[in-house]
Amino acid sequence: MLRIAQTVPDTEAEGPGRRYALWVQGCTIRCPGCCNPEMFAADKGRAVDPLALAKEVVAIPGLEGVSILGGEPGEQAEQVAVFAEEVRNAGLSVMLYSGYTLEQLKQRPGAARLLAAVDLLVDGRYEQGLPEIRRRWLGSTNQVMHFLTPRYSLADPRFHTANTVELRLSKEGVTINGWPAAADGLRWRR
């Protein structure tokens, strides 16, 4: 089972094109200033069958791909790989965000399988004092984009537009996703 924190079924703030965004639950890296500290605890969120979730995702019309965030996807690499393989086999692209560097991620159990199903990896810890303002879909300047397949490249003009934040209202409340520095500015303080 894959432990997840939240999903957004249709977003343009978490990667190129219309995407399904999946935030996994659990992270031992715990970057200071992380925009998702509620996703640190591995025993929170909900458990889902990664194959069943993938079937739901591929049934959504018009998606270009999925973005997998966290929490830390590398800490559930085997289960994330099952999900990523299924959506990629159905023709969707896969973008993965990890606080681990590519080399660190390669050392994690199941990571080789996961990386084989990823088109674009954004790696590196989030550094609160180094906000990224030039490269889209990155939180801090130390993070690196690894184009693992030819599906995407830096020549794509979508990688050179402004970062965005999305607000969603539902009966459960308000969901904010997108660029961390801007999203943090929108959070309500008590």
109-156: pLDDT as tens digits: 999 999 999 999 999 999 989 988 888 888 889 999 999 999 999 999
pLDDT (0 to 100) of residue 190:
42
Gap between the Cα atoms of 139 and 35, Å rounded? 10
**Predicted pLDDT at 178:** 64
* 181 confidence band (pLDDT: 50, 70, 90): low
Handedness of CA 131, 35, 22, 14 (dihedral sign): negative
- Tens-place pLDDT, residues 41-52: 999 999 999 999
pLDDT of residue 68: 98
What the chain holds in terms of domains, given with CATH numbers, is 2-186 (3.20.20.70)
Task: Please report which confidence band the pLDDT of residue 163 belongs to, taking 50, 70 and 90 as the band edges.
Answer: confident
Query: Residue 1: pLDDT above 80?
Result: yes
What integer pLDDT is reported at residue 143 of this predicted model?
Answer: 95
For residues 158 and 2, give the distance between their C-alpha atoms in angstroms, rounded to a whole number: 31
Kindly tell me if the per-residue pLDDT of 188 is higher than 60. Answer: no
* Cβ proximity of 139 and 125 under 8 Å: no
107 pLDDT higher than 90: yes
Is residue 28's pLDDT more than 70?
yes
What is the DSSP track for 137-176? T-SBTT-EEEE-STT--TTSGGGGS---EEEEEETTEEEE
pLDDT of residue 131: 86
pTM: 0.88
Q: In angstroms, how far is CA 31 from the centroid of its own chain?
A: 15
- More confidently predicted of 164 and 17: 17
The secondary structure of the chain in percent helix, strand, coil, rounded to multiples of 5, reads 25, 30, 45
pLDDT at 186: 47
